[in-house]
Structure 1
Amino acid sequence: MHDSMGIPACFSSRDHQRQPDEPTSVGRSGQSVIKSVYQTKLAGECRLITVTWCRNLLLHGLSVSVQGPDGDEHYGCKVELKPWYFWRKQGSKHFIVDGATVDVVWDLKAAKFNGETEPRSDYYVAIVCKEEVVLLLGDQKKDAYRKTGCRPSLIEPMLISRREHIFGKRKFTTRVKFNEKGTFHDVAVECNSDGIDPVLEIRINGKQAVKVKHLQWKFRGNESINVGKNGLQVFWDVHDWLFRSGPRHGLFIFNPIPSFPAPGDSENAMDSSRFCLFLYAWKVE
């Protein structure tokens, strides 16, 4: 059943206020962007850490920012990974948050991007504060702890949201974990907008999850589906695809439905009801 679209309550009102400007700036730049927001304890406070990867024809970019004390101001650093600057693929930077030094340490010398914006393997990015690794990304965890000489944080970071901006003509794909303890899922969005009856299809792990016919009347909506034994709510808004010209994006939101697993089955549960995947699919001619 398709209902009128409403944005799920994954973000605070302050986050919603920042969202509208983001697609406009990304659309003008033409960069593929992946922005992941984590919640953890840093400098004595529970804060949001945003890790952003971007890619264009000339470089890969990485930036890390930390929520300030008022919730708006951010501290952070940026790294540009240009092919001819090999030395920048390994290094560290630091900034100050409420009097505490935050170090960002990375090793991307052997990172495998496989043509994507975010590396798939053979890398690490570590955020360190007060001798604790408060956030660690990548699969080279032992190397990260050896390089930083710091212990893991006692508080495990929680992935709150993931926003992806991807560009294409008809089909848009990504890989995502709906639960940090779960496995990766392949998500594909495809729109056949030719003719008088455009059709939208969303596939997860190669299987059709959502199909919307008569899209010119159902360009906004939502549907609850199952991914394995778990529930997932899917929202879409493709108004601009159908009724605007030039580069324009469709917005797709994937929000796990919290479940109550049977004893011994907690690893497979989508227990993080706060998580949302925001997929901005940019159509280019």
Structure 2
Amino acid sequence: MSSPLPSCFRPSTTTTSNLTVYHTETGPVSITWSRSMVGRSLHVEVHHDDSFDSLSFHLHITPFLFWKKHGSKKLAPNTHLFWNLSKAKFSSSPEPLSAFYVALVVHNRITLLLGDSPKEAHSNSKAHRPNTPQLLLLQKEHVFADTLYSTRAAFAGKARLIQIDWDHSRLSFIFDGETVFQIKRLKWKFRGNHRVLVDGVHVQISWDIYNWLFHNHNHNHNNNAHAIFIFKFQHHDDQDSNWNLGASEWAKMGKSCSSSSTGSFSSVLEWSSVEENQLLVPVGFSLLVYAWKR
């Protein structure tokens, strides 16, 4: 039996990637940072609200070959991408930690700005600030561990450490060292969702650990022994915000991303249940974690 996930969602043994999706005043933008044995890469996918077409840009970041550490690229007549990674500091994760910027300019406004060098980005692009700020919709990560899986997300004004602790008898969700929810009898509760309140923010936690519990019974390897977790952070006023994506817009972006050469993003609408689809249509920030056994 093959894995129910599309191949683009299963990292190879030598490549890891993290995806973020932002809402901007001109439409959603997906950013994928990847790391492999030969280097890193950046992939940008720009989606316009009024079109099914998308614009893409791919940059190889390798220590062995020449690559353009800073520069700009015209993606369309009114769309330009600016970047500077010449002094970027990296760790084990695919994306840089500091000393970099990536800026998307549409109609002479910076609609998306990543990194910690905003002054340099504005100076080099000579672009204005956007009319509406960018908003993070989705963050997708692959994490690897034995029993304790860790990731981070920013909400309620600060960055948080989120940990998933599991053994065959229980599954615990820990925010900044405090257990907010625990599940027992996992063989009867291997899929589900639950809402918790963390510092005034409603967090809906969804989990699917079927592969962890049952997959290896019929396989001699654990390459596909992954679990899926969704953390959906929703403030009380998110329902009234004007930046939420509807299902059609989310599906449109997923279809476009899944056809990109990197395969960095595939529409979950192709394989998820109706309930999961509703979770992934952003009404706030969602963190999607693929947890893999070492």
Given the two structures, how large is their TM-score scaled by the length of structure 1?
0.76
Give me the whole-angstrom Cα distance separating, in 1, the residues matched to 2:72 and 2:24.
21
The one of 185, 191, 195 aligned to 1:224: 195
Give me the whole-angstrom Cα distance separating, in 2, the residues matched to 1:36 and 1:89.
21
Deviations, residues 173-202 of structure 1 (Å, cap 9, x unaligned): 1111236xx211111112223xxxx32122
| Range with bigger deviation, 233-242 or 68-77 | 68-77
The one of 153, 164, 168 aligned to 1:189: 164
* Contact 2:60 2:67 survives alignment (8 Å): no
> Deviation of residue 94 (structure 1)?
2.6
| SS of alignment partner, residue 109 of structure 1 | coil
| SS of alignment partner, residue 152 of structure 1 | coil
- Aligned residue in 2 for 1:12: none
Listed as ranges, the gaps of 5+ residues in structure 2 are 217-221, 239-281
CA RMSD of aligned residues (A): 2.4
* Contact 1:77 1:94 survives alignment (8 Å): no
Deviations, residues 86-144 of structure 1 (Å, cap 9, x unaligned): 64332222312xxx342221112222222222222221110112211110011110011
Kindly provide the amino acid, as one letter, of the partner of residue 218 in structure 1: K
Give me the whole-angstrom Cα distance separating, in 2, the residues matched to 1:137 and 1:232.
25
Q: Judging changes above 3 Å, is the alpha-carbon distance between structure 1 residues 231 and 68 closer, same or farther for their aligned structure 2 residues?
A: closer
Percent of pairs with identical residues: 30
> Deviation of residue 28 (structure 1)?
5.0
Kindly provide the amino acid, as one letter, of the partner of residue 213 in structure 1: K
Give me the whole-angstrom Cα distance separating, in 2, the residues matched to 1:282 and 1:25.
15
Q: Judging changes above 3 Å, is the alpha-carbon distance between structure 1 residues 70 and 150 closer, same or farther for their aligned structure 2 residues?
A: closer
Give me the whole-angstrom Cα distance separating, in 1, the residues matched to 2:139 and 2:237.
24
Give me the whole-angstrom Cα distance separating, in 2, the residues matched to 1:130 and 1:105.
14
Kindly provide the amino acid, as one letter, of the partner of residue 278 in structure 1: L
* Number of residues of Structure 1 aligned to a counterpart in Structure 2: 241
- Aligned residue in 2 for 1:280: 290
| Range with bigger deviation, 161-170 or 126-135 | 161-170
Listed as ranges, the gaps of 5+ residues in structure 1 are 1-19, 262-271
* Contact 2:61 2:67 survives alignment (8 Å): no
> Deviation of residue 231 (structure 1)?
2.0
Q: Judging changes above 3 Å, is the alpha-carbon distance between structure 1 residues 167 and 218 closer, same or farther for their aligned structure 2 residues?
A: same
Aligned residue runs from structure 1 range 76-155, under 5 A: 76-85=56-65, 87-96=67-76, 100-155=77-132
Kindly provide the amino acid, as one letter, of the partner of residue 283 in structure 1: K
- Aligned residue in 2 for 1:35: 19
Q: Judging changes above 3 Å, is the alpha-carbon distance between structure 1 residues 190 and 85 closer, same or farther for their aligned structure 2 residues?
A: farther
Q: Judging changes above 3 Å, is the alpha-carbon distance between structure 1 residues 206 and 58 closer, same or farther for their aligned structure 2 residues?
A: farther
| SS of alignment partner, residue 231 of structure 2 | strand
Given the two structures, how large is their TM-score scaled by the length of structure 2?
0.74
- Aligned residue in 1 for 2:135: 158
* Contact 1:258 1:273 survives alignment (8 Å): no
> Deviation of residue 68 (structure 1)?
5.0
| Range with bigger deviation, 168-177 or 132-141 | 168-177
Give me the whole-angstrom Cα distance separating, in 2, the residues matched to 1:105 and 1:120.
18
* Contact 1:26 1:165 survives alignment (8 Å): no
The one of 200, 208, 212 aligned to 2:183: 212
Give me the whole-angstrom Cα distance separating, in 2, the residues matched to 1:64 and 1:224.
33
Give me the whole-angstrom Cα distance separating, in 2, the residues matched to 1:77 and 1:151.
22
Please tell me whether residue 253 in structure 1 is matched to residue 230 in structure 2.
yes
Q: Judging changes above 3 Å, is the alpha-carbon distance between structure 1 residues 89 and 191 closer, same or farther for their aligned structure 2 residues?
A: farther
The one of 51, 56, 59 aligned to 2:39: 59
Give me the whole-angstrom Cα distance separating, in 2, the residues matched to 1:154 and 1:200.
43
> Deviation of residue 224 (structure 1)?
1.7
